[in-house]
């Protein structure tokens, strides 16, 4: 076995026999190798951080795409921008189709793929409801399916209507000649556009309409349940249908159109007047009439036996004497009225 001194002598001879360049390489190689290993370890640690830096904006759709508000949609896996120069994006809760606004135009966009479902050429757009979306261009309306295809319904006009949303597969649509109809999702009129109004009552699944001088209430199967030459019909949220005659008398029907009460009142109030007694003091007494208040807060006069003397035409009724009353029409400071007696007759 060689001694330590002989080993060192052999190493010294080997080192001196090498050229200068080889000696430099032998010295630097371990340093370069260590630096390389350190660099690899650092890059391995920073790789998740680099991916994390790309995850900005709001996640949209179901495939992990992201939207930077007022800027673009991009794929965080590839870093590729899919749609740029976005003005805004309207996303309905839980939906994968959104409204894209860009360069003052609108289109529908698939949030899973960032592909435009329609051309970017419309002026206004409304979110999808009942698998139908509606957009307008130059006062014309267009109905779209969820794949971007258009429903064949030519000649639809945007006119005096704030929103265009289907409900239960029907849309109450106002036309350009100031009439309203009911449109289905295939673009067909299920109620022709000849009505002055169509109000949808979602809670009781009713359509409250007016056609000429007639009020008609339809159920969702479009069967008339109440119709007549009423001044108005209102759907009360809890009690039923309130039908108002042209003389102001109101009747209550249930939600299937069956008469419940022939005449209804909201409340009945006593009528008092003030006069001087023999000592000159003010004395307040009740008249022999009552005031009844209807569903619309209009007032009428009834006698002490609760027989109606006047229709509910008045904003207020005040007793001037025991037998004379001032019935006012106006609601504000410039109100005016007339005098009536305790039989409901106008005084001249």
What tens digit of pLDDT does each residue of 134-170 get?
A: 999 999 999 999 999 999 998 999 987 889 999 999 9
User: Integer distance in angstroms from the first to the last C-alpha of the chain?
Assistant: 146
pLDDT digits (tens, 9 = 90+) for 99-119: 999 999 999 999 999 999 999
What's the pLDDT score for residue 179?
Answer: 93
pLDDT digits (tens, 9 = 90+) for 166-217: 999 999 999 877 799 999 999 999 999 999 999 999 999 999 999 999 999 9
Q: Which CATH class is domain 48-121?
A: mainly beta
Which of 110, 106, 99, 116 has the alpha carbon at shortest distance from 61? 110
Residue 342: its pLDDT value, please?
95
Percentage of the chain modeled with pLDDT above 90 = 73
Sheet strand arrangement including 241-244: 232-235, 241-244, 250-253, 259-261
**pLDDT value of position 280:** 85
pLDDT at 53 (0 to 100): 46
* 329 touches 340 (CB < 8 A): no
Query: How confident is the model over 56-87, as pLDDT tens digits?
Result: 999 999 999 999 999 999 999 999 999 999 99
Which residues make up the CATH 2.40.10 domain(s) of the chain? 48-121
Q: Residue 309 in contact with residue 302, Cβ under 8 Å?
A: yes
From residue 82, how far is each of 75, 85, 109, 113 by CA, in Å? 7, 10, 12, 9
The predicted model gives 44-48 an average pLDDT of 45
């Amino acid at each position: 076995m060689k001694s330590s001194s002989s080993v060192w002598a052999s190493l010294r001879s080997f080192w001196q026999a090498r050229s200068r360049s080889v000696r430099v390489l032998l010295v630097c190689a371990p340093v370069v190798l260590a630096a390389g290993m350190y660099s690899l370890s650092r890059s391995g640690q920073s790789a998740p951080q680099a991916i994390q830096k790309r995850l900005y904006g709001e996640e949209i759709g179901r495939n992990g795409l992201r939207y930077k508000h007022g800027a673009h949609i991009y794929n965080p896996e590839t870093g590729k921008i899919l749609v740029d120069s976005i003005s805004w994006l309207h996303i309905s809760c839980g939906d994968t189709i959104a409204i894209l606004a860009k360069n003052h135009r609108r289109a529908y966009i698939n949030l899973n793929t960032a592909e435009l479902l329609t051309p970017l050429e419309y002026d206004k757009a409304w979110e999808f409801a009942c698998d139908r979306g509606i957009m307008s261009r130059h006062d014309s309306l267009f109905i779209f399916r969820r794949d971007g295809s258009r429903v064949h319904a030519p000649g639809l006009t945007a006119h005096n209507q704030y929103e265009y949303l289907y409900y239960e597969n029907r849309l109450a649509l106002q036309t350009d000649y100031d009439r309203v109809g009911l449109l289905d999702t295939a673009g067909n009129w299920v109620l022709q556009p000849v009505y002055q109004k169509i109000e949808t009552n979602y809670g009781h699944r009713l359509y409250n309409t007016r056609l000429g001088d007639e009020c008609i209430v339809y159920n969702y199967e479009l069967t008339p349940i109440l119709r007549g030459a009423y001044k108005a019909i209102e759907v009360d949220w809890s009690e039923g249908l309130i039908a108002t005659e042209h003389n102001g008398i109101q009747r209550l029907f249930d939600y299937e159109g069956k008469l419940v009460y022939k005449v209804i009142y909201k409340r009945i109030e006593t009528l008092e007047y003030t006069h001087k007694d023999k000592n000159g003091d003010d004395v307040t007494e009740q008249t022999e009439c009552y005031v009844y208040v209807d569903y619309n807060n209009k007032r009428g006069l009834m006698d002490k036996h609760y027989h109606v003397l006047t229709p509910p035409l008045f904003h207020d009724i005040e007793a001037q004497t025991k037998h004379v009353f001032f019935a006012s029409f106006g609601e504000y400071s410039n109100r005016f009225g007339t005098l009536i007696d305790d039989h409901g007759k106008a005084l001249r």
